[in-house]
Amino acid sequence: MRKTLLLSAVILCVSLALEMPQLNFAYTYIRVSTSSDPDVVGAAVSWDLSDNSRPNINDGRVQYVIGEAGTEDADDFDGPFTEFQAIQRSFIQWRNIEGSDIDFEFTGLVENPVDDANDDVNTIFWDDSGFDAGVFAVTITSFDTSNGDIVDADLIFNDADWVWDTIAEDDTSGVSGRTYIENIAVHEIGHFIGLDHPFVNNSSLFPYTDSGAISLISLSTDDMAPMMATYPAAGGADPDLATVSGTVTSSGTGRLGIHVTLIDIATGEAVISALTGDDTSATNIGEYEIVNVPPGNYWVIASKSNIDNLGSYYSTGFTSFLPAARGVDAGTVGAPDILQVTPGANLTDIDLEVINITTVFEDDDDFGDATAIAIGDAVGSRLENSADEDYFSFPATLDEVVRIQVHADAMGQDLNPEITLYDTDGTTELQSSDPGSPVFEQHARDIQNNAFSDESLNYDCYIEFTIPATGTYFVAVTATGSTSGDYVLTSYSDLSFDDVDTNATTIEADVVGVGAGGADFTITVAPANTAGAAFPDTDSFDVDLIDRTGAPVVLDTINAAVQNGDLYANVPAADGRLLRMLVEASNAKNVIEIGASTGLSGMWIALGLRKTGGKLTTFELDRGRAASARANYKRAGVGGLVTLVEGDAHENVRKLKEPVDVVFIDADKEGYDAYYEATLQLLRRGGLVAFDNALGDGELIDPRPDDTHAQALDALNRKVLADERVTSSLVPIGDGLLLARKR
């Protein structure tokens, strides 16, 4: 049982359908529960960032205002920020998600804020009435039931029941009794942009927290992944992220609202999750899909959702079952399947079966009636009440290091478990997560080790113990306080995984590459098994050196393009060599090119990136030239380094958020100034901007009034050379290269 709750009220508004959204049963979105168009039922709601006709959308940014009265506690803040700054900092947490283009704009303070779902004003304010007990804040997310577009969102903080404060950026813990605005605001902003409550307890959208906690401020994988899917950045998500999909059934029938969680075997932590969907035109009942999954080794767990904390779409979700691990028949004991997620994988048919059962393994309330398991097994069960106890027995050998973990709170279950390991006599305690026990271990009591009370986040527990003698040992799972509910017990030992695993093993070198002449370098290999446990060091490893410089292939491709006349709006070789040198000299990791043309300049840049280990994002408006560029990148073997974005660069560049090291601009000359201002904001201190054709084919000496190209270049040269934000130089190479280095 937890004592504080975060709420999201979902208001529905009806209008004529404009377009049907893509239905995708990934993550935990707020979803359309009723609609005049049955194909829209189940649609994930989201902002249409391209709809600038909406009063609360501007240039792809969601706008919001804040009530000027703020909170009554502002004069007594211990933290360094005002409440208005704290809210804006919370929006920045979501804005800074790499791989997502979600963005926001604070448009000012308002005198009399209201939570009006029809005023097209996204309003945030404090109020001192109308809240149920234990509620920190409420977000009212209003959307169009004909297409799932969010039209309004209002966030109201409870100013009556909590003492509000802000927290410094470098603080690692809060103070019990003070409620941190950032901790609550980051959570509520998730509802603001379309997310419902997941049941992964390290998620910022987890429905429970505590006064004094700050854990919701930092976004988890489960928070960021849906943002990359719903509001993708122009360059797309990290290509190493994977997709996992499947169906959850009971008695052969797919079921709605079942929570599917991937648990990292090495850490025991829930990483990412999804809820199964209903029967619609885009999915079969019981299907789920999780995209943007980090590579790793996982157990896949199906558990029931707390539908009281979800929107009305999930009100008929299936809850009459015990949790189950994939590979273990529901209601039985066995070794769970290991889901090995490799970079970029698309894993389908990751199915699970649950059974409609509420009680299993009873009576097992004493070591004499313990359920037998083997180390490596998993089992889903339930503590029926706070007095219930579940005993398990397992054989183990001398010096075997066993780890037994109980997953409950981390999956959103009400149970806060305790675990106790007993010797072969079934009565002598060897290790316990009960702080009243003489063999209490802190790490076993609270995985996050930062709980303020019995109701705080992640009260799950584990035991890690070296077996003193070969024999059969016992473990008891009990409840803390008045809690009860479902759990999954997992187990393994240092003997469970005896092979080196490629996902868990790390290999690092102290150089990016080795020259052909040979040079001393160090490669560090840390072999590990599936659970992330290190293997003993060996004396040596076989290392294959692969020639990945690509220089001959790239240069051959450039020469072939030159000979074939594939030169439209491309740089000459002298400019290309200079670009390569600038990339290498600045050790650039992130390069932007505006104007890919047919790819020659991009290949010169890629030659430099081969040395630095960086990447290039390039923009091209013309579809034909973009196709030629892609073919050239592929032919040169640099396609993996280059992301080509088709379309208007003026719009697409604004979606970039990562710091940039080098920018090369060779596009419409009238747009040079706009490109300069847009990319200068992204450029790191010391980064370079290079403008091609800065001499304008000699027309800048006396530009004609009707020569817009020359007029634009002349104005840009004068502006950049006088700009105090940069140091600049015009290099007389080719048609002139204007270089600007950010101060």
Helix or strand run (H / E) with residue 226: helix 221-230
Q: How far apart are CA 490 and CA 253, in angstroms?
A: 27
Where b means 16+ CB within 10 Å and e means fewer, 608-634 reads bbbbbebbbbbbbbbeebbebbbbbbe
Q: What pLDDT is stored for residue 560 in this prediction?
A: 66
Q: How far apart are CA 192 and CA 115, in angstroms?
A: 13
Pairing of strands 5-13, 61-67: unpaired
Which of 280, 336, 384 lies closest to 44, judged by CA? 280
Q: Compute the C-alpha angle 34/35/38, nearest 5°.
A: 100
The dihedral built from the CA positions of residue 28, 31, 33 and 38, taken in this order, carries a sign that is negative
Q: Return the structure tokens found at 723.
A: 């700009």
Helix (H, G, I), strand (E, B) or coil at 405: strand
Contact assessment for residue 687 and residue 661, using Cβ atoms and an 8 Å cutoff = yes
Q: How far apart are CA 25 and CA 259, in angstroms?
A: 11
Q: Return the structure tokens found at 216.
A: 């919701």
Q: How far apart are CA 223 and CA 230, in angstroms?
A: 12
Contacts (Cβ under 8 Å, ≥6 apart) of 393: 367, 370, 371, 372, 373, 472, 473, 474, 475
Beta-bridged to residue 339, according to DSSP, are 298
Q: How far apart are CA 711 and CA 703, in angstroms?
A: 6
Q: How far apart are CA 742 and CA 724, in angstroms?
A: 9
Helix or strand run (H / E) with residue 720: helix 708-722
Contact assessment for residue 406 and residue 445, using Cβ atoms and an 8 Å cutoff = no
Q: How far apart are CA 299 and CA 339, in angstroms?
A: 6
Contacts (Cβ under 8 Å, ≥6 apart) of 739: 582, 688, 689, 690, 728, 729, 730, 731
Contact assessment for residue 725 and residue 743, using Cβ atoms and an 8 Å cutoff = yes
Q: What pLDDT is stored for residue 707 in this prediction?
A: 75
What is the set of domains in the chain, with CATH numbers?
A: 5-230 (3.40.390.10), 242-354 (2.60.40.10), 367-493 (2.60.120.380), 499-546 (no CATH), 551-742 (3.40.50.150)
The rounded average pLDDT for each run of 10 residues, N- to C-terminus, in the chain (743 residues) is 43 30 44 79 87 90 95 95 94 89 91 85 93 88 88 94 91 87 94 86 82 86 90 78 93 90 88 80 76 92 84 83 89 91 92 80 78 93 90 95 88 86 94 82 47 49 92 94 89 78 72 55 74 64 54 62 58 83 89 91 88 89 88 80 90 86 92 92 90 79 71 88 90 87 89
Q: How far apart are CA 506 and CA 523, in angstroms?
A: 10
Q: How far apart are CA 304 and CA 356, in angstroms?
A: 11
Contacts (Cβ under 8 Å, ≥6 apart) of 144: 13, 14, 15, 150, 151
Pairing of strands 461-466, 401-407: antiparallel
Q: How far apart are CA 250 and CA 98, in angstroms?
A: 38
The DSSP code for 655 is G
Q: How far is CA 619 from CA 238, 317, 626, 677, in A?
A: 18, 45, 9, 16
Q: What pLDDT is stored for residue 199 in this prediction?
A: 78
Q: How far apart are CA 426 and CA 367, in angstroms?
A: 6
Q: What pLDDT is stored for residue 109 in this prediction?
A: 94
The dihedral built from the CA positions of residue 385, 386, 391 and 396, taken in this order, carries a sign that is positive
> Residue 250's Cα: distance from chain center in Å?
30
Which of 45, 456, 473 lies closest to 210, judged by CA? 456
Q: How far is CA 369 from CA 376, 426, 476, 505, in A?
A: 21, 11, 11, 41
Q: Return the structure tokens found at 450.
A: 């930062």
Which of 682, 726, 685 lies closest to 591, judged by CA? 682
Q: For the chain, what is the largest distance between any 2 Cα atoms, rounded to a whole number of angstroms?
A: 99
Q: Return the structure tokens found at 463.
A: 């035991």
The DSSP code for 609 is H
Q: What pLDDT is stored for residue 282 in this prediction?
A: 46
CA dihedral 596, 48, 30, 656 (to 10 degrees): 30
C-alpha atoms less than 13 angstroms from C-alpha of 694 in its C-beta half-sphere? 26
Q: Model pTM?
A: 0.69
Q: How far apart are CA 268 and CA 300, in angstroms?
A: 12
> Residue 722's Cα: distance from chain center in Å?
42
Where b means 16+ CB within 10 Å and e means fewer, 250-287 reads beeebbbbbbbbbbbbbebbbbbbbbbbbebebbebbb
Q: Return the structure tokens found at 13.
A: 């508004």
The DSSP code for 579 is H
